[in-house]
Amino acid sequence: MHLNLVKAGLCEFAADYKYSSEKYYELNEDDWGFITHYAEHI
Protein backbone atom coordinates (compact mmCIF):
# COMPACT_ATOMS: atom_id res chain seq x y z
CA MET A 1 0.00 0.00 0.00
CA HIS A 2 2.77 2.46 0.87
CA LEU A 3 4.51 1.96 -2.47
CA ASN A 4 1.38 3.00 -4.40
CA LEU A 5 2.51 6.60 -3.83
CA VAL A 6 5.80 5.88 -5.56
CA LYS A 7 4.16 3.97 -8.42
CA ALA A 8 1.76 6.86 -8.96
CA GLY A 9 4.69 9.28 -9.18
CA LEU A 10 3.66 11.35 -6.17
CA CYS A 11 7.09 10.96 -4.57
CA GLU A 12 10.39 9.15 -4.99
CA PHE A 13 10.22 7.45 -1.58
CA ALA A 14 6.99 6.70 0.29
CA ALA A 15 8.42 8.06 3.55
CA ASP A 16 8.90 11.46 1.84
CA TYR A 17 5.17 11.89 1.20
CA LYS A 18 3.71 14.13 3.91
CA TYR A 19 0.48 12.16 4.41
CA SER A 20 1.99 8.65 4.31
CA SER A 21 2.30 6.50 7.43
CA GLU A 22 5.37 4.84 5.87
CA LYS A 23 7.60 7.30 7.72
CA TYR A 24 6.27 5.88 10.99
CA TYR A 25 6.82 2.27 9.98
CA GLU A 26 10.24 2.87 8.42
CA LEU A 27 11.75 5.49 10.73
CA ASN A 28 9.44 5.27 13.78
CA GLU A 29 8.67 8.99 13.43
CA ASP A 30 5.10 10.01 14.23
CA ASP A 31 4.67 13.53 12.87
CA TRP A 32 0.94 13.38 13.60
CA GLY A 33 1.03 12.25 17.24
CA PHE A 34 -1.65 9.60 16.88
CA ILE A 35 -0.33 6.90 14.54
CA THR A 36 -0.10 3.44 16.10
CA HIS A 37 1.35 0.24 14.75
CA TYR A 38 -1.23 -2.15 13.33
CA ALA A 39 0.12 -5.00 15.50
CA GLU A 40 -1.03 -3.13 18.62
CA HIS A 41 -4.64 -3.69 17.54
CA ILE A 42 -4.64 -7.45 16.96
Q: How many CB atoms lie within 10 A of CB 11?
A: 14
Structural domains in the chain (count)? 1
Please give the pLDDT value at position 16: 85
> Residue 2 has what pLDDT?
57
20-26 LR contacts (CB < 8 Å, sep 24+): none
Could you read off the pLDDT of 18-36 as tens digits, one per residue?
878 787 778 777 777 777 7
Reported pTM = 0.51
What's the rounded Cα separation, in Å, for the pair 20 and 37? 13
Per this entry, what is the length of the chain?
Answer: 42
Q: Kindly compute the dihedral angle of the four CA atoms of residues 31, 24, 2, 40, in this order, to the nearest 10 degrees.
A: -120
Q: List the domain range (segments joined by +) for residue 36.
A: 4-41
Contact (CB, 8 A) for 16 and 9: no
